[in-house]
Amino acid sequence: MYWLIRHGAKVLNNAISAGTFPLQQQFKELTNTIRQLNNNFEEQHKSLKELRDEVNKHHDELIEHKNRIENLESDKK
């Protein structure tokens, strides 16, 4: 009797595993895709931050140039 129950449970477990195998594979692929998207997002976020910093630097330089030009023009008068 014990063997019959144990064997039945084993067969049922194998059937469930075989039936859910495609779903398990899809979950693995989905997990990998999410990781890749997350890595891409982090890279893009880093690139955008670098770009923002560069734009801010150039903006500050433009303000400095504008102030110099204004000072030169006022000295010229």
pTM for this prediction: 0.56
CA 2 distance to own-chain centroid: 52
pLDDT string in tens for the chain (77-residue length): 888 889 889 998 989 988 899 999 999 999 999 999 999 999 999 999 999 999 999 999 999 999 999 999 888 76
Contacts of 10 (CB under 8 A, 6+ apart): none
What is the distance between the terminal CA atoms of the chain, rounded to a whole angstrom?
110
